[in-house]
Amino acid sequence: MEKGKQRVYLLCTVLLIAGFYLAYRLYTIQVAANRDWALKAVNQRSDGLALYRQRGAILDCHGQPLTGRDHRVYLAVLPPLLTAEERKVLTPLLAAHHVKMDGVLPLTIADPSAELLRLVAERPMMGVTFCTIPLRYGSHPVAHHLLGYVHPTTGEGIAGLEAMYDEVLASDRRVKLAVMTDAHQRPIPGLGWRYQEETRRRPARNLVLTLDFALQRKVETLLDEAGVTKGAVVLMEVGTGKIRALASRPVFNPYRPQLSLNDPDRSLWNRALMAFPPGGLWRLIITAAALERGMFDPDQVFFEDAGTGSGLMTLTQAFAYGTPSIFQMMVSILGTESILTMADACGLGAVAVGLPGEESGILPDKSAPGDSRVVVSGEEKIAVTPVQIAAVLQMVAGNGAYYPPTVVEGLQGEDGAWTPLVSEVGTGRPVLAATTVAALRKMLEATVLYGTGQKAQIGQEAAGIDGVVLTGYRGAQPVYHSWFAGYAPAHAPRLVGVVFLEDDPGGAERAAALFAALMTSCL
């Protein structure tokens, strides 16, 4: 009897333990790991086609997408779900697209023929459906050079911001087009085709820029309508240094950039970040240095005796007309070192944003003796980028402080978590005194009002400066680079605009007219 009781107790204990274990397993499967088991069950019963690897979006300052705005429609074919008769009908039509239906591998066809579309419409097949894949840069790309491009096969960032931030934009997740089937690969009624995302893999993060999509689109449209073949435009916000639009011409096809590798116009160059001689723009640096030293006054009168008959004129008038002889005299009195020191303080001669391919520009060595004519003309041994010039004009339009140009705000996670990549906008680095800023503003306004920049006049009033550089000759025809840089409205500046035209016969007047159109549209 005792042995019998022990056996009963042992059996009850075993059954109790087994019961607890089964209850635990049921809880784990049905509650704790319910989603995981459900996904496994779904994946076991789904046949599908891997469409693309997810990649983080690039957004503007308002959250508008600069990438992935449009989708492209494909025809997807899953051979295991086709009957023998359907295969026979489809095979010659797919051959016309140079696609061979071989075995069980799924297929996608871009731009299906009208005959193929007609067949699918008239004869629905379970193994054939339409799907959409996002176009990374849309059907009308913007900011080509800034965004860059990705490898067409691997999706890896190759140029521009795509390359610079590839690590955060890349993702392990794939999106698959799947159809639910039973154990015999027969479609399950009512479930049909659907997109599946690998949610358990590493997600991508979005890159948020300072660009404003609406302003960027306006700049792109302006350049296209004006027929600018080579050049750049930069639009910067006053008081922050944030770049709101940046465009370069000519553009390239971001889906097939290899076609532009040998382009004689160098369409892969981001001209907004390339360095060019400033020409007449350089008089802004000379004047700023002169005013800061207190050696000259805006109303100081000069006698211009270079044979032009101009006679007496103030420094403001000399600035507005860009009179070379007066600036030559100012440089001889100031010396080149003080002018180049001012150029350093204005951010010239150094990389401004830190973007891929960005140039630092060129400044003569302050410690080496040099020809003062070089520092006067701004044409030899001096080079600046359009972004650097925008930062200088922003300094004058603002409070005399230098704000480093910025184009990236931060990163946005899948859960909305925000990671800033730039510090909050502060007071900037003081460079110019308030009296210098006031004087330079009057000179820039005079340039547009009655000087060499009259083509830049707009209803809201603008201020700016122009420049032309003779870079050489094409046969007997001179080749010019032209600039116009300014801000508007003149008395309450909001936006700085820089227009650079490379090898454009329209000269500085065309650059000024484009600036006027730019400000009229964007303000």
| 79 within some domain | no
Amino acid symbol at 137: Y
Q: State mean pLDDT over 215-241.
A: 97
The pLDDT value given to residue 42: 45
Band of pLDDT at residue 153, cut at 50, 70 and 90: confident
| 223 within some domain | yes
Which range is least confidently modeled, 103-117, 249-263, 405-419? Answer: 103-117
Q: CA 93 to CA 25: how far, in whole Å?
A: 52
Q: CA 495 to CA 242: how far, in whole Å?
A: 10
Q: Where are the alpha helices (DSSP H) in 248-371?
A: 282-293, 315-321, 324-334, 336-345
Which range is least confidently modeled, 98-112, 128-142, 187-201, 232-246? Answer: 187-201
Question: In the predicted model, is pLDDT for residue 39 greater than 50?
Answer: no
| Residue 337: CB atoms within 10 Å | 14
Structure tokens at 487: 């801000």
| 395 within some domain | yes
- Tell me if residue 138 falls in helix, strand or coil: coil
Which range is least confidently modeled, 26-30, 95-99, 118-122, 323-327? Answer: 26-30
Signed CA dihedral, 362, 363, 367, 373: sign only: positive
- Tell me if residue 432 falls in helix, strand or coil: coil
Q: Name the domain count of the chain.
A: 1
The fraction of the chain above a pLDDT of 90, given in percent, is: 58
Q: CA 303 to CA 82: how far, in whole Å?
A: 91
Structure tokens at 450: 């009655």
Q: What is the pTM of this model?
A: 0.84
Q: CA 15 to CA 305: how far, in whole Å?
A: 114
| 185 within some domain | no
Average pLDDT, the chain: 88
Residues ≥6 apart with Cβ < 8 Å to 428: 241, 395, 398, 399, 401, 402, 403
The fraction of the chain above a pLDDT of 70, given in percent, is: 87
| 139 within some domain | no
Q: Are 48 and 178 in contact (CB under 8 A)?
A: yes
Q: Could you tell me the strand order of the sheet in which 58-59 lies? A: 58-59, 206-209, 408-412, 418-420
The pLDDT value given to residue 35: 54
Domain range for 486: 213-522
Amino acid symbol at 502: E
CATH classification at residue 492? 3.40.710.10
Q: Report residue 91: phi and psi, to 5°.
A: -55, -50
Per residue in 477-487, pLDDT (tens digit) is 888 999 999 99
Q: Report residue 425: phi and psi, to 5°.
A: -65, 125
Residues ≥6 apart with Cβ < 8 Å to 93: 113, 115, 116, 119
CA nearest neighbour of 483 among 335, 343, 282, 326: 282
| 166 within some domain | no
Q: CA 290 to CA 172: how far, in whole Å?
A: 58
Q: State mean pLDDT over 94-112.
A: 81
Per residue in 429-462, pLDDT (tens digit) is 999 999 999 999 999 999 999 999 999 999 999 9
Per residue in 317-354, pLDDT (tens digit) is 999 999 999 999 999 999 899 999 999 999 999 999 99
Q: Are 51 and 107 in contact (CB under 8 A)?
A: no
The pLDDT value given to residue 43: 45
Cis previous bond, 489, omega within 30: yes
| Residue 461: CB atoms within 10 Å | 15
DSSP H/E element including 478 = strand 477-488
Q: State mean pLDDT over 500-520.
A: 96
| 282 within some domain | yes
Per residue in 3-27, pLDDT (tens digit) is 666 776 777 777 778 777 777 777 6
The pLDDT value given to residue 76: 86
Q: State mean pLDDT over 176-183.
A: 73
The pLDDT value given to residue 446: 98
DSSP H/E element including 128 = strand 128-135
Q: CA 58 to CA 150: how far, in whole Å?
A: 13
Question: In the predicted model, is pLDDT for residue 309 greater than 70?
Answer: no
Q: Where are the alpha helices (DSSP H) in 96-136?
A: 114-122
Rg value, the chain, Cα: 33
- Tell me if residue 378 falls in helix, strand or coil: coil
Per residue in 369-388, pLDDT (tens digit) is 555 665 676 667 899 999 99
Q: How many CA atoms lie within 13 A of 133 on its CB side?
A: 18
Per-residue CA distances from 334 to 30, 289, 295, 326, 373 (Å): 83, 8, 8, 12, 13
Reduced DSSP (H G I as helix, E B as strand, rest coil) percent helix, strand, coil of the chain, to 5: 35, 25, 35
Q: Which of 365-369, 416-420, 451-455 has the highest mean pLDDT?
A: 451-455
More confident residue, 199 or 271: 271
| 81 within some domain | no
Residue 396, judged by CB atoms within 10 A of its CB (0-12, 13-18, 19+), counts as: buried
Q: State mean pLDDT over 153-174.
A: 92
Q: How many CA atoms lie within 13 A of 95 on its CB side?
A: 7
